[in-house]
Amino acid sequence: MKTYRESTGKMRKYYQLILVVICFISVVTLLIYRHEYYRLRYVLEVLNFFGKPGLSEIEFCGPGFNASLLSEIMRNSSMEVRETPPMFQQIDENFYTYSSFLRSYQKYGQLTQYDAHVIDTIVIGKSNAHPKFRCNIWLVNSDNPKAGRFTLKLVSESSNGYNLYLFQCSLTKNLGTPVGVSFYVNDYNINPIHAPINRVVQVNTKRNIRESSSIKFVNNIELAACVVPNQVPMVSRDGFIEFLAFQHMMGINYFTIYDSMITEDVIKRLNLLPEDITQWNIKFFPLNYPFIFSQSYETVKKAIELDCLFRHFKLDKEEANKASHIVVLSWDEFLVPREHNSIKAVLDDFDPTRKVRTFEITPLMFCLNQNDDDNAEFGYPSIMKKTSYYKLNQNLSPTYVRNLDLMPSFEDIPDLNTSTESVQLEVLGMHKYTECRDPKMYNINGYNETQLQVLPHKFEGAMLRFAQNLLSNKIYGLYRTGKIWEKPHEVREML
């Protein structure tokens, strides 16, 4: 017969076992809760990075959204992308939107625009397809979009089968603040709720032109460069630093870089440089290509130029140190003056009254596989050692410098071919440094030295005269010595 003490002892063991099980379940539950908490916090950080929470699911990650691009943006968060980044999103099999810009006329009493809100969207489409779409405008704090009025404008045609458009979606009444726009096929059998949404960037509708004398804006040129990938979309670390240092030396202070091939390490290292030493402003935007790179290159480059112009136009010119002139360059293209020491000086001399809207600059092809110039000293970068340009059967597009001060209204920007003047090669040239190859033959190394000697070429030593200035440049010197990788306060002490 069991005693009371034995029964009590067994009960205590059961209680202990139950407590151990409860503790185990509690610990597991706590770990799961902690894991889910950090996942939720990460998602909120991502949402905060792209905008305030409350956007519909389709807007944040709708059809056509490039998931690898999101990963790229988050991986390169050190790039400090503070604006809504542009990205290609597919509307249908023939058309892709890039970026959208909002003009709200309610702010400007002197303007007589009929529509309260107009959203301009940069679109690339195949030239054999005709765009027939409808559009919706998404408003803040609303899950249901409003149907807008759709119109379009053909900005440029491409010989490779791609056209550049501006799709416009407008509202006649001010129903709220627009935050996004979507386009969908004009077919009532298709649900428009599944169309990808472009988040809009708000811009000014006009720029205030300042009163002045007949000689306007003297010494007030502020150059900005928008940088696109090379046609072979890779840039070395040397090429990256050489481009920035040289163009900054030529007077360009603002850089907007559209490129996903720049490594995170280079960006982080560049960010170590104190702003008061570099005295430049750099923004980075990832670039996703939805098309065959070589075929659509020129059209995408024009789309990036429009995006760059739109983003700089939104800045009030009355503010100090805002860009007045815009140029689009790839990493292997350099604006090189002949007589002056900077591009600012060239524009001052060529257009003292600031009446030229677009400057057309002649491109020259410099083959990197040519022999080094005998006058180039040891230690010069490659761009200083190659002093002959070649006339090959490659159609190089001219480089254009756009004058934003002659675009007082936002509608003026797409008309880029008006008031164009060519800058003589004796004044300013655009040097393109690349490997020269026979387009009819596959050879990764390009022409050999013997073949290049018999091809038509001409000496041009304008770049060579800037060699010593580049070598003595602080930024370039820090890079060449490896000191650019030091901490900011250590870099400052070295200078």
pLDDT digits (tens, 9 = 90+) for 122-164: 999 998 888 889 999 999 888 888 999 999 999 987 778 899 9
Confidence check: pLDDT of 1 > 60: no
Rg (CA), the chain: 28
Q: 423-443, pLDDT tens digit by residue?
A: 999 999 999 999 888 777 777
Q: Specify which residues 261 forms β-bridges with.
A: none
pLDDT, average across residues 22-30: 79
pLDDT, average across residues 70-91: 62
Q: Where are the alpha helices (DSSP H) in 394-464?
A: 449-454
Strand spans (E) along 382-445: 388-390, 399-403, 420-423, 428-434
Confidence check: pLDDT of 37 > 80: no
How far does CA 158 lie from the centroid of its chain?
A: 21
pLDDT, average across residues 378-394: 86
Q: Is 72 helix (H, G, I), strand (E, B) or coil?
A: helix
Q: What is the secondary structure of 193-241 as a DSSP string?
A: GGS-EEEEEE--SB-PPPP--SS-STT---EEEEEE--SS----HHHHH
The reported pTM is: 0.77
- CA–CA separation, 32 and 25 (whole Å): 11
* pLDDT for residue 240: 86
With bands split at pLDDT 50, 70 and 90, how would you rate the model's confidence at 72?
very low
